[in-house]
Structure 1
Amino acid sequence: MPLILFIFIAYLPIKINHKNSTTTATTKLNFENQEDPSKIGSENKEKIANQEHPFLNLIQKTIFQALLWIVYQLKQYMHPKFMLAYYCFYVYISAEVLMATVSVLAWALLGLELEPHFNKPYMATSLQDFWGRRWNLMASNALRSSVYEPLKRWVSSRSHDIGAMLPRIVAVMGTFVASGLVHEIALYYFARMRPSWEMTGFFVLQGLVVIVEIVVKKFLLMKGFAWRMNIVVSRVLVVGFVMVSAMCLFFPPVLKFNAVVRLEREVGAMGEFLKCSLIMLISFVNGK
């Protein structure tokens, strides 16, 4: 494997789509043939050129983020509750833009197609669907293999007579608690503030409601009920519940240390740095 490819895979929270990534297949073949794996044949470059370009996705997300940033400039005229709801959208779009940028770099430099980090979370029909199959899929996969499955096996080996539901329930709650603690640690390193445990409370609440979903679905299945909630109603309820609980528990500790103001300051400093660097480069080229 080329060194740049190894660093890219090991350093970033990404997962390669091996079915569509032509570079991966070529690299593997060249490695097995003891050839230079950094060389990509012309036929491989043609395949890459014929695939759907990820720049379109990045442009769409960037435009939407720019529109949200324009709205933010009017925050003094907005109700505080509206701004809390606004942050829900902004966090999602910002994460999408970040990962779309990484995908473009992977495509342009290495010919790799990455698996998506988000799968239209606003289309989720249940909290299980939202957290397990749509929101931050890399984190979900990591937590599934490092917390959920080991904890479920551990409880199963010690609760043979209690029932099949208990290992799953304990594993679900343990996973959400672990996620909450990770967010508390991240916030501590960013803000150097004593944990308020509101973020952990947010994830514990999500875990409790997911457990209620599991139990209710199991009960209805045992009773032979085939009723399902209207898909539009379920989507509104799921997204609404996540947003309201985030507004009450997730964002208040983030806003306590002026995260948005600090972000503006960092973006401004980066802009000034790039501006000065460009001026120096132009002056150097012109010999001044």
Structure 2
Amino acid sequence: MAADEIKNVMVYWADGEINSFIKVWVSAYISLFYCYFVGKILAGGITRLACFLPVVCLFLLLPLQLHSMHLGGITAFFLAWLTNFKLLMFAFNTGPLANPSISLPRFLAVACLPIKLIPQNPRKNKTEEAGNGQMSIKNYAIKCLLMALIVKIYSFEDYIHPRIIMVIYGFHIYFALEIMLAIAAAMARGLLGAELEPQFNEPYVSTSLQDFWGRRWNLMVTRILRPTVYVPVLKWSTGIMGREWAPLPAVMSTFIVSGLIHELIFFYLGRVKPTWEITCFFLLHGLCLNAEIAVKKVVNGRWQLPRVVGTVLTVGFVMVTGFWLFFPQLLRCGGLERGLAELSAVGAFAKDVVRAVGLPVNSSV
């Protein structure tokens, strides 16, 4: 990474990105305080929705105050997407915020973070719990090491074929998302003392698109889109098409909404005019998933692909279409370079802190 690029990032952050990040999240928490008490006073319905709409609009504007890939991207994903959808559900007394006994700290955590609290099971075997915890720690430790290796590989980008770089970038996004969501979940677990549902379920072993999108990839988003888009469209289409084929327009509507939200997130990251490639990516996957559902209904379990073949086809299809339609828009806005510059800037800052306290620093790192 060029020294002047790192310097520019450091100067920008010093000029106010951290301060803007703090101000944005203070504004978000104040707004959520308001929503919490409005929810206590007003019953679910149009009146509560009207009171929430200014906050929803604010959460669409707040990410525009940030320009970094990491702070801006995280804020856009949490506030403009997850929190807004949860508030819209809460306006009609549904969703994870609708529990009448939820405390204010838990309300703020569930509203802002990609988590869903579930009751602790006092009967759970402690040995099993400890074993699962150790496996989880080992799993995330391996993924953190792989993420560090990927960042290091970027230093040799000029000597690697561009398509291989695209594959590596795909793994980069997956590991970054899983680590980021795991940190958020761990923070909520420590602060709130509750178990948390997993955000990913090893998507690289998916056996079909239905398995990938419905049961393995970014489950928090799936749990948000299902009650807000899929279920209402399913109920509407059932009266027109019948229960057997009603899922098809429901699935398509869900992917359309997901594509539009992703376009918004990419706009926050790059501040460039949308090319609609991201929407095309989700439209393509919605159509292919509908085709898969239709074939399964016709076959009705009489025949299915071997598990290994299904995994290779599914993961291969996701990666190929991602290279074609998903990643190019992110790369064109300089997302990779900016993200690496920010990581390098943080590393340089950490070295300065270490030097300040008198510890030796390996200059070759």
TM over 0.5: yes
Q: Equivalent of 1:187, from 249, 266, 272?
A: 266
Alignment match of 1:254 (pick from 302, 324, 330): 330
- Could you tell me which of 290, 314, 321 is aligned with 1:238? 314
Which of 92, 99, 108 aligns to 2:181? It is: 99
Following superposition, the deviation at residue 111 of structure 1 comes to 3.0
CA distance in 2, matches of 1:3, 1:171: 34
**Which of the numbers 10, 14, 21 marks the counterpart of 2:115?**
14
- Stretch of structure 1 that moved more, 146-155 or 232-241: 146-155
Cα 1:7–1:273 change in 2 (3 A) is: farther
Which stretch shifts more, 59-68 or 123-132?
Answer: 59-68
TM-score w.r.t. the length of structure 1 is 0.79
Which residue identity is paired with 1:195? Answer: P
Q: Aligned-pair distance for 1:9?
A: 2.2
Residues 214 and 51 (structure 1), Cα distance of their counterparts in 2 relative to 1, 3 Å cut:
closer
Aligned residues: 254
* Residues 103 and 58 of structure 1, relative CA distance in 2, 3 Å threshold: farther
Shift of 1:50: 9.1
CA radius of gyration, larger in: 1
Q: 1:19 Cα shift?
A: 3.7
Higher relative contact order (CA 8 A, sep 6+): 2
CA, structure 1 residues 201+147, in 2 after alignment: closer, same or farther (shift >3 Å)? same
Task: Report the counterpart of residue 42 of structure 1 in structure 2.
Answer: none
| Structure-2 change in CA distance of 1:275 and 1:241 (3 Å) | same
CA deviation digits over 1:97-130, x for unaligned, max 9?
1122223323444433321110111111110010
Q: Which residue of structure 2 lines up, in the alignment, with residue 56 of structure 1?
A: 138
Alpha-carbon displacement from aligned partner over 1:189-208 (angstroms, at most 9, x marks no partner): 21111110100000000001
Is 1:212 equivalent to 2:285 in the alignment?
no
What does the per-residue CA deviation read over 1:12-33, in whole Å, with 9 as the maximum and x for residues that have no partner? Answer: 011123245x7xxxxxxxxxxx
Aligned residue type for 1:127: L
- Comparing 60-69 and 250-259, the one that deviates more: 60-69
Partner of 2:53: none
Contact in 1 for aligned 2:150/2:172 (Cα 8 Å):
yes
- Contact map agreement 2:114 2:184 (CA 8 A) in 1: no
| Residues 13 and 243 (structure 1), Cα distance of their counterparts in 2 relative to 1, 3 Å cut | same
* 1:38-117 equivalence runs, <5 A: 52-53=133-134, 54-117=136-199
Once the two structures are TM-superposed, the CA of residue 57 in structure 1 deviates from its matched residue by 3.6
> Deviations for 1:166-216, whole angstroms, at most 9, x for unmatched residues?
421111101001100000011112111111010000000000110111111
The answer to whether the 8 Å contact 1:198/1:250 transfers is yes
Partner of 1:201: 280
Distance in 2 (alpha carbons) for counterparts of 1:253 and 1:165:
37
Alignment pair present for 1:145 and 2:227:
yes
- The 5 Å alignment of 1:97-176 reads 97-157=179-239, 159=240, 162-176=241-255
Q: What is the distance in 1 between the residues matched to 2:273 and 2:190? A: 42
Say whether the 8 Å CA contact 2:115–2:185 is kept in structure 1: no
Task: Give distance in 2, aligned partners of 1:151 and 1:2.
Answer: 32
Q: Residue 133 of structure 2 aligns to a residue in which SS?
A: coil
State the distance in 2 between where 1:251 and 1:121 align. 18
Per-residue Cα deviation, 1:241-280 (whole angstroms, up to 9, x for no partner): 0000000000000000110111112223333444455666
Counterpart amino acid of 2:205?
Answer: M
Q: Distance in 2 between matches of 1:147 and 1:265?
A: 37
| Length-normalised TM-score, structure 2 | 0.63
Distance across 1 between alignment mates of 2:147 and 2:337: 17
Name 2:85's counterpart in structure 1.
none
- In structure 1, give the amino acid aligned to 2:314: V
Partner amino acid for 1:156?
A: T
- Structure 2: distance between partners of 1:84 and 1:171: 32
Query: Structure 2: which amino acid aligns with 1:190?
Result: L
- 2: CA distance between counterparts of 1:51 and 1:261? 37
Distance 2:286 2:244 in 1: 15
Contact 1:57 1:100 (C-alpha < 8 Å) held by counterparts: no
1:40-92 CA-partner distances (Å, limit 9, x unpaired): xxxxxxxx989735543432221121122222222111111111111111111
